[in-house]
A and B are shown apart, each in its own frame.
Chain A
């Protein structure tokens, strides 16, 4: 059953005196109850903007976001009554109030969700000692802070948990731990999880489905096993071959040539064609607006 459905979403960043940047340029995605969707892409591809738009932290310029049958309205000055969507942010150093104890911040979540238990119970669920409730954020490490942030989000009993690169600022040792923790906690409580990361190898471990974004567009969506073993889109293939494999053969990860183009002035046609090893004539002219792999190589029926 669909919990979150994003349809043709457009999100724009407007800065006076600069061209408008379409950070998200027509994206569709769904998350079902109890499903873990991994959203991957290079930095600057619009995945964080997408996450913020889903929470209502960024107004949509077009398209729709529907959560549980209701449209998500942008967060204004009024008190938020929709607490079913909670977010875990990227930087655990700025996502906790430095002046308040961990327990008090988790209690905010409990108040919002009306869930059972105490802050200490939640700390236990995220694998921290119960007495951490009395600590201030500066007494915690980055990984511990991120766990507190997860506990706070979970305390609100969300039906959709969003992780906006929640592991990218953590130590390598803490990354997969925190990722699997988020997955387990979300799935156990029956919530959906939208997990954003640029690290395909971690996303693969926790996601049921993987969505790949490039320059504000969704390029490929599919079941994790399919995307991992048989990627269709050349960009997904490039992302996968950029992952180092310890195969002792001395194979270096393949690098993708070129840089991400300026999102304020995206290339015509397929946004990836300038860097694509398989680019054809049609790629620079017409945009492949179909799925699950938005690539002319996999067009349903060539025009």
Chain B
């Protein structure tokens, strides 16, 4: 303990556990890879100038695909497609779902009924099936895939935020605000929403993995990214066609795996850090 640097010791306990550190490093690494893709990738991800289906080796460490493209470069550039889209997707789900849920919880009555029955409708379908239906109806493209996942992803935020808002709405500080003449909007913005963000943030972090899986799942099924673009789901799909060349599907698959794992670890950490019931146990077991 004593040899640990000062900056490390100043981190909250929840963030000093092995899983938190692993998740943090993995997520950070992917963000760096996405930002520095042109510097890190040894080849042009779209150039077809390498031997076809060459196994991993010098010059092409992750091997090459059927068209002679470098898989390492494509995986690196794939981070530039998947990460921003996943972030955008989750941000939009939080915004739309969170706000709809807050409206349902705060106003109740018919707003509650309408919004929550709509959410129930979404929950009645298996997520990937509903996303496929929407994506297929809109036509295959990455933008439409994001829209399709959004259609299924907002509902869980709506449910969580409705429950939290219901609990906060009856708090006396909200009533005090109303008695002081707060408008409904100000009451929501000042008293209600800031006090429900913690759990929603946890859900959002945990949901990043799921969102990425759904998004690359749609691309895998041919409902997302179009062929030339380096998208992990689409790359796995093309690898399935040449099953003997294991590297074609494995490396983009590992990329998806590590990103999903990283966000799950981070989400768990956030949840533990924000939950006072687990905070003490963490304190005792922190590194």
Binding site for B on A (CB under 8 A): 55, 57, 75, 77-81, 83, 85-87, 89-91, 94-100, 105, 108-109, 111-112, 149, 152-153, 156
Contacts and interface: CB of A to CB of B under 8 A. Distances in A.
Given A57-B175, A89-B172, A95-B173, A108 B194 contact: no
Contact of A75 (B172, B179, B194): B179
B195 A98 contact: yes
A91 B230 CA distance: 58
Contact of B179 (A80, A97, A111): A80
Dominant secondary structure at the A interface: loop
Contacts of B176: 87, 89, 95, 149, 152-153
A194 B180 CA distance: 18
Contacts of A98: 173, 195
Interface in B160-191: 171-173, 175-184, 190-191
A141 B209 CA distance: 41
Contact of B180 (A78, A83, A89, A100): A83
B179 A87 contact: yes
Contact of A86 (B171, B179, B190): B179
8 contacts: A55-B179, A57-B175, A80-B179, A83-B181, A85-B179, A87-B176, A98-B195, A99-B194
B107 interface: yes
Given A83-B181, A89-B175, A89-B176, 10 more contacts: A57-B175, A79-B181, A80-B180, A87-B179, A94-B173, A95-B176, A97-B177, A97-B194, A99-B194, A108-B180
B195 A99 contact: yes
A156 B180 contact: yes
A95 B172 contact: yes
B195 A91 contact: no
A149 B190 CA distance: 17
Contacts of B183: 79
Contacts of B179: 55, 57, 75, 80, 83, 85-87
Contacts of B180: 80, 83, 86, 108-109, 111-112, 152, 156
Contacts of A79: 181-184
Interface in B64-91: none
Contact of B190 (A95, A96, A100): A100
Interface in B115-160: none
Nearest to A55: B179
A77 B181 contact: no
B171 A94 contact: yes
B182 A97 contact: no
B181 A97 contact: no
B172 A81 contact: no
A152 B175 CA distance: 13
A142 B180 CA distance: 22
A153 B183 CA distance: 17
Nearest to B191: A97
A153 B190 CA distance: 17
B173 A75 contact: no
A72 to B, nearest CB: 11
Most interface-central of B107, B179, B181, B195 (chain A CB within 10 A): B179
A269 to B, nearest CB: 36
A95 B173 CA distance: 4
A98 B184 CA distance: 19
Contact of A97 (B107, B173, B184): B173
Nearest to B197: A99
Contacts of B178: 75, 80
A108 B173 contact: no
A81 B173 contact: no
Contacts of A109: 180
Contact of B181 (A87, A91, A112, A153): A112
Per CB-CB distance, the 6 closest pairs between chain A and chain B, nearest first, are: A95-B172, A89-B172, A112-B180, A79-B183, A97-B173, A99-B194
A121 B177 CA distance: 20
A80 B179 CA distance: 6
Contact of A80 (B107, B171, B181): B181
Nearest to B180: A112
Most buried by B among A57, A97, A108, A111: A97
Nearest to A77: B184
Interface in B35-82: none
B76 to A, nearest CB: 41
Contact of A91 (B172, B184, B191): B172
A94 B177 CA distance: 12
Contacts of B177: 97, 108
A55 B176 CA distance: 10
A156 B107 CA distance: 26
Nearest to A92: B172
B181 A81 contact: yes
A97 B195 CA distance: 8
A86 B181 CA distance: 10
Nearest to A98: B195
A108 B183 CA distance: 12
A58 to B, nearest CB: 11
A169 B86 CA distance: 48
Contacts of A90: 172
Contacts of B194: 97, 99-100
